[in-house]
Amino acid sequence: MEILMCIVAGLLFAAAVYLMLSKSLLRIIIGTGLLSHGTHLMLLTMGGLKAGAVPVLGEHAATYTDPIPQALILTAIVISFGVTAVFLVIAYRAYQELGTDNMEQMRGMDTDD
């Protein structure tokens, strides 16, 4: 199961890299979204995928789920939500101000402003 999840995370990273290398700003933002999804899946897998029991329990549990990676992922999700939101707003403003969402055309000279 862990290996499968690692492969899935790798696929997400690959897709994210592909999208982030494209010229369109919106694709880049979707790429960052996929990147953070991949990261979160990786984090979950890192904690070990044990199924079948609640996180918090006594001293002698046969099986349990580690709650820490889940807490970390929750935090990371909230943070990536915030960052994506800020990024979207900046990209939108840039589109309005510069009149393009193409990174190639955005690469103007410093004298252009």
Q: Which residues contact 98 (CB under 8 A, 6 or more apart)?
A: 106
| Smallest distance, other proteins to C-beta of residue 106, A | 6
62-97 in b/e burial notation, b at 16+ Cβ within 10 A? eeebeeebeeebeeeeeebeeeeeebeeeeeeeeee
Residue 54's CB: how many other CB atoms inside 10 A? 10
Alpha-carbon span 37 to 12, nearest angstrom: 7
Q: Which of 20, 26, 30, 49 binds other proteins (CB under 8 A)?
A: 20
Rounded least distance, CB 50 to other proteins, Å: 13
Q: How far is the CB of 1 from other proteins (least distance, A)?
A: 15
Which 29-88 residues touch other proteins, going by CB under 8 A?
32, 35-36, 38-40, 42-43, 46-48, 68-69, 72, 74-76, 78-79, 82-83, 85-88
Q: Phi and psi at residue 58, in whole multiples of 5°?
A: -75, -160
Binding footprint of other proteins on the chain (CB under 8 A): 20, 25, 28, 32, 35-36, 38-40, 42-43, 46-48, 68-69, 72, 74-76, 78-79, 82-83, 85-94, 96-98, 103, 106-108, 110, 112-113
